[in-house]
Amino acid sequence: MSNSMWGGRFKSDTNALMQAINSSIDFDKNLYSQDIAQSIAHAKMLAHTKIISEQDKDDIIKGLNTIKQEIEQGQFKFSSALEDIHMNIEARLAELIGEAAGRLHTARSRNDQVATDFKLYTRDAIDMLVGQIKALQSALILRAEQEVQTIMPGFTHLQSAQPVSFAHHLLAYVEMLSRDYHRLLDARKRLNQCPLGCAALAGTSFPIDRYMVAEELGFTEPNANSLDGVADRDFILETLSAASICAMHLSRFAEELVIWSSAQFNFIELSDSFSTGSSIMPQKRNPDAAELVRAKIGRIMGAYTSIMMVMKGLPLTYSKDMQEDKELSFDALNNLSLSLEAMTGMVSDLSVNKEAMKQAAGAKFSTATDLADWLVREANVPFRDAHHITGKIVSLAESKELTLEQLELKDMQEIDKRINQSIFEVLSVENSVKSRTSYGGTAPKNISREISGWKRILKIS
Ligand code: ARG
């Protein structure tokens, strides 16, 4: 019964509203190639198990290939009334080949179909991302090779702490990216079970061959429980979780590029291609690309938390809520890919101001630990006492406005008479860096060994 206040307009308005909230074609058209690939695999299996005829299979495959071409050439008319990519493709297939199109959906539902498409999409995205991570690692290694002897201040609390090699700093990111790489591949392993054939939720009475479809689509095996197959979205959550950690790493690196390229630091200059000018201040070069990479974690992590919220509390199996998983994921994965590529470009193009780095590395008594270590090693002073003696020497240097290296031997001897001339060997930043030969330390000979190892792994010659 229609409501007298608003019933007159109810019918047409709700139809339009329903379409607006229900239709997903604007974003799930991104799944067209995965959807067509799975339909081809499904049709082959249906013919193999004699559920459909060879002729129908051939017509279906031919029609699907035509649709693929139409989409890629921009000739396909997507319709919001047809809701999503699955129904858009099926409707067009019916126009192209007639009745046989209706047989394609035998033993399948949109629930297992969308889970399969989305898994294939996520798997493709992982394959692209791991390639891009390797490219960034390679750019870092090639850059590190030039910078083994470049000394910069290492920081804690963003306070100069101890001098390190710039290459060592870059290699820290290579390690972080390696964990990202393996996290993504690990997610890929668990993702790689095929949901197609779970049908709506309970499986099907047709004699399908799920192993055949799984193999055809590059999955390791079909998933074991039909309810789980259509209800599971762990695969995108795991991938977005790994993507968020990777984006967090890129954000930290981007922040360093922003700091290092400031006039106050002046450690690096980003190339023109990754900077912009100011519309009002002619002297400015803004590190926009780095700032945007720094920000991308927001939307990537945002996609992860949104989808986690969508999934929590959903009863088994499929609910339409799950349609909300795609738009944000596409955006997040695309933006991580873009960030990785922009970072690779920035690393390859930036120029390094070695002098400024070295000067900063020597500031703020950064070799004080080396002085304390000398007292321990050469004069058998317990480290705690050595720390105390060094503190006094640092405050002497501070009051005289000298670096540790510039202090006179006799002034240091007044504080502790066990100090002798050889102390000066450890006070330079070069010697400080060179002395850190412990496994994983910043000594150039460690770094060169690490670089060769990475070049073998990344197959860089
Ligand atoms: N467009 C839907 C999605 O993205 C496809 C699955 C629809 N299934 C259904 N039972 N209405 O989730």
How far does the centroid of ligand 1 lie from the alpha carbon of residue 408, in Å?
78
Q: Hey, what are 68's tokens?
A: 């693929």
Instruction: Decide if 199 contacts 112 (C-beta within 8 A).
Output: yes
List 53, 271, 278, 452, catalytic entry: 278
Q: Hey, what are 7's tokens?
A: 């019933």
Spacing of C-alpha 16 from chain mean position:
38
User: What is the C-alpha to C-alpha distance for residues 414 and 411, in angstroms, rounded to an integer?
Assistant: 5
Higher pLDDT, 159 or 229: 229
User: What is the C-alpha to C-alpha distance for residues 220 and 188, in angstroms, rounded to an integer?
Assistant: 11
In this prediction, residue 9 carries a pLDDT of 56
Confidence of residue 1 (pLDDT cuts 50, 70, 90): very low
Q: 407: alpha, beta or left, given left = phi > 0 and alpha = psi -120 to 50? A: beta
Rounded mean pLDDT, 383-394? 95
What is the overall mean pLDDT for the chain?
A: 94
Percent of the chain whose pLDDT exceeds 90: 89
How far does the centroid of ligand 1 lie from the alpha carbon of residue 298, in Å?
27
Instruction: Decide if 132 contacts 149 (C-beta within 8 A).
Output: no
Residue with tokens 């020597």: 362
Q: Does residue 379 carry a pLDDT above 80?
A: yes
In this prediction, residue 142 carries a pLDDT of 97
- For ligand 1, atom 12, which residue shows the shortest CA distance? 323
In this prediction, residue 13 carries a pLDDT of 64
User: What is the C-alpha to C-alpha distance for residues 424 and 434, in angstroms, rounded to an integer?
Assistant: 14
Q: pLDDT digit string (tens) for 238-279? A: 999 999 999 999 999 999 999 999 999 999 999 888 887 767
13-17, 107-111, 146-150, 223-227: segment of lowest average pLDDT: 13-17
User: What is the C-alpha to C-alpha distance for residues 55 and 47, in angstroms, rounded to an integer?
Assistant: 9
Spacing of C-alpha 291 from chain mean position:
16
86 is catalytic: no
Residue among 23, 85, 320 whose CB has most ligand 1 atoms within 8 A, to mutate: 320
Prediction pTM value:
0.92
Instruction: Classify 169 as helix, strand or coil.
Output: helix
In this prediction, residue 221 carries a pLDDT of 98
The DSSP letter of residue 286 is B
Q: Hey, what are 284's tokens?
A: 């400015």
Confidence of residue 5 (pLDDT cuts 50, 70, 90): low
How far does the centroid of ligand 1 lie from the alpha carbon of residue 49, in Å?
27
Which of 340, 337, 323 lies closest to 31 in space, CA to CA?
323
User: What is the C-alpha to C-alpha distance for residues 439 and 366, in angstroms, rounded to an integer?
Assistant: 21
Instruction: Decide if 197 contacts 222 (C-beta within 8 A).
Output: yes
Residue among 32, 122, 323, 326 whose CB has most ligand 1 atoms within 8 A, to mutate: 323
Instruction: Decide if 81 contacts 173 (C-beta within 8 A).
Output: no
In this prediction, residue 366 carries a pLDDT of 86
Beta strand pairing call for 159-165 and 193-194: unpaired
182 is catalytic: no
Confidence of residue 42 (pLDDT cuts 50, 70, 90): very high
Q: pLDDT digit string (tens) for 104-162? A: 999 999 999 999 999 999 999 999 999 999 999 999 999 999 999 999 999 999 999 99
Ligand 1 atom at minimum distance from 318 CA? 10
- For ligand 1, atom 2, which residue shows the shortest CA distance? 323
Give residue ranges with CB within 6 A of ligand 1.
24, 28, 84, 110-111, 114, 318, 320, 322-323
Residue 380: count of CB within 10 angstroms of its CB: 9
Confidence of residue 281 (pLDDT cuts 50, 70, 90): confident
Radius of gyration over every alpha carbon of the chain, rounded to an integer in angstroms: 31
List 157, 279, 351, 438, catalytic entry: 157
In this prediction, residue 2 carries a pLDDT of 42
Query: Rounded to the nearest 10 degrees, how much is the dihedral formed by the CA atoms of 66, 72, 77, 82?
Result: 80
In this prediction, residue 143 carries a pLDDT of 97
Ligand 1 atom at minimum distance from 85 CA? 1
Q: pLDDT digit string (tens) for 390-424? A: 999 999 999 999 989 899 999 999 999 999 999 99
Ligand 1 atom at minimum distance from 28 CA? 4
How far does the centroid of ligand 1 lie from the alpha carbon of residue 439, in Å?
54
Q: Hey, what are 177's tokens?
A: 């990216």
Is-cis flag, bond preceding 317, omega within 30? yes
Residue 169: count of CB within 10 angstroms of its CB: 21
Q: Does residue 4 carry a pLDDT above 60?
A: no
Q: Hey, what are 294's tokens?
A: 């720094």
Ligand 1 atom at minimum distance from 118 CA? 4
